Amino acid sequence: MAFTFLPPCGIHLVNRKRVEEELQKARDVADAANRAKSFFLANMSHEIRTPMNAIMGFTDLVLRSELTAEQRRYLEIVQARSKDLLVLINDILDLSKIEAERLELNPVQFSIAQTLSDIVGMFSLDTAKKGLRLSMDISREFPDVIYGDQQRLRQVLVNLVGNAVKFTEQGAIIIKVERDLSYSGSDDCLPLHVRVQDNGIGIPVDRQKVIFESFIRDNHLIPKYGGMGLGLAIAKRLVEMMGGNIWCESEVAKGSTFHFTVRFLCQRVGDKLPDNAIQAPAPVQRRQLRVLIVEDDAGSQLLAQLLLEELGHRITAATTGKEALRELSANDFDLVLMDVHIPDMDGLEATRQIRNPASLVRNHAIPIIAMTASALKIDEEACIQAGMNNYISKPMLPHELVTAIDKVIT
């Protein structure tokens, strides 16, 4: 007959409690380390965006001038590589934001058909070069306008279509959008099932499970195709944030189909718009503006000045918050472009002082646009809370600058 020793109940409970406490401590340490890594990545991306602003901006400006064919070719390579680098920085930033749970969805009203046809247009040059056919097939039952995070849907599609184009040498790529039939929830919800199908190199079965993890890529494919292995990891997290799933079916040498589901809301034209839905801005009459640029980074300052002068505006530059307040007390301006990280008093504090009726500034209501190298929503919100009217992210693109100004100058 076998005897089993059972510890008295009390001892059992004490041990269990201790183990749970230890486990909780280990979990807290791991979470803190993960958060520290995410903040480090977010800060690094921020530091890299400032020099990128000058590299991309000046390359763009020089490319608009007269150049020899050879100079143009070299600069076009600089331009293309800077864009690749920016995609990489944005991917790292996105992943760190997702991991730090700081990425928020930004739902707007949009047309799914238009979004898809923009993407087809965006890849038309690459597909034409390779002789590939790229087409879209969208179910007719969808309303003209739906409500969801268009930018993030676009990001997932751009990644999947980009991969399909990259890994396919001949044949066709089809983007298909249908209602997700597996969904059985509320009628307001519009569940989408999207497929991106190619007949490219395919993916071995054992790799199909891991490709959605970050930094997973096929070493033997890198010399030919490049890539950091971040795209699908980001796509997976974004799709999950939008209430769906992502998976793939693939056969080596035959091709791959990437599937994902997302849940948006039905919103027909004429329906009441949700409060934060973006509407087309009214056309703007442009006039010459007196602009104060507050920026301590010499490259970024000169770039903003050249872009604004090209638009016909008159520029004054300041490098510190105090200098900016002196200028705004002594002279009349129509607009301030304010960097957030400036010496002596940051852009947020300078803005609060401009808005303060007790300060000597002549026009307390002057429109202020933040120029920020941070792509975190929380930093953008801080700009608005401090009293700024709008913000623009670095690297600053000329058309984004025009749109940002149009929005605040009425």
For ligand ADP, which residue of 55, 164, 371, 401 counts as binding (CB under 6 A)?
A: 164
Among the candidate windows 8-16, 196-204, 282-290, 334-342, which touches ligand ADP by CB under 6 A? 196-204
Q: How far is the CB of 181 from ligand ADP (least distance, A)?
A: 24
Q: Any residues with CB less than 8 A from the CB of 104 and at least 6 apart, and which?
A: 377
Q: How far is the CB of 50 from ligand ADP (least distance, A)?
A: 25
Let me know: does 137 contact 113? Beta carbons within 8 Å: no
Q: How far is the CB of 158 from ligand ADP (least distance, A)?
A: 10
Residue with nearest beta carbon to ligand ADP: 227
Prior bond to 395 cis, omega within 30? yes
Structure tokens at 403: 């749109």
Interhelix angle 112-122/150-166, rounded to 10 degrees, is 40
Q: How far is the CB of 38 from ligand ADP (least distance, A)?
A: 19
Does residue number 218 form part of the binding site for ligand ADP (CB under 6 A)?
A: yes
Q: How far is CA 151 from CA 112, 277, 333, in A?
A: 11, 13, 35
Among the candidate windows 26-34, 37-45, 127-135, 227-235, which touches ligand ADP by CB under 6 A? 227-235
Does residue number 257 form part of the binding site for ligand ADP (CB under 6 A)?
A: no
Q: What is the chain's length?
A: 410
Let me know: does 93 contact 48? Beta carbons within 8 Å: no
Among the candidate windows 105-113, 230-238, 312-320, 329-337, which touches ligand ADP by CB under 6 A? 230-238
Does residue number 409 form part of the binding site for ligand ADP (CB under 6 A)?
A: no
For ligand ADP, which residue of 35, 102, 217, 407 counts as binding (CB under 6 A)?
A: 217
Task: Identify the CA nearest to 373 among candidates 348, 391, 350, 389.
Answer: 391
Does residue number 231 form part of the binding site for ligand ADP (CB under 6 A)?
A: yes
Does residue number 195 form part of the binding site for ligand ADP (CB under 6 A)?
A: no
Does residue number 127 form part of the binding site for ligand ADP (CB under 6 A)?
A: no
Let me know: does 94 contact 105? Beta carbons within 8 Å: no
Does residue number 392 form part of the binding site for ligand ADP (CB under 6 A)?
A: no
Task: Identify the CA nearest to 189 among candidates 238, 143, 220.
Answer: 143
Greatest CA span in the chain, whole angstroms? 100
- Tell me the C-alpha distance between 29 and 31, whole Å: 5
For ligand ADP, which residue of 41, 89, 175, 203 counts as binding (CB under 6 A)?
A: 203
Does residue number 96 form part of the binding site for ligand ADP (CB under 6 A)?
A: no
Q: Contact residues for ligand ADP (CB under 6 A)?
A: 159, 163-164, 167, 198, 200-201, 203, 211, 216-218, 221, 227-233, 256
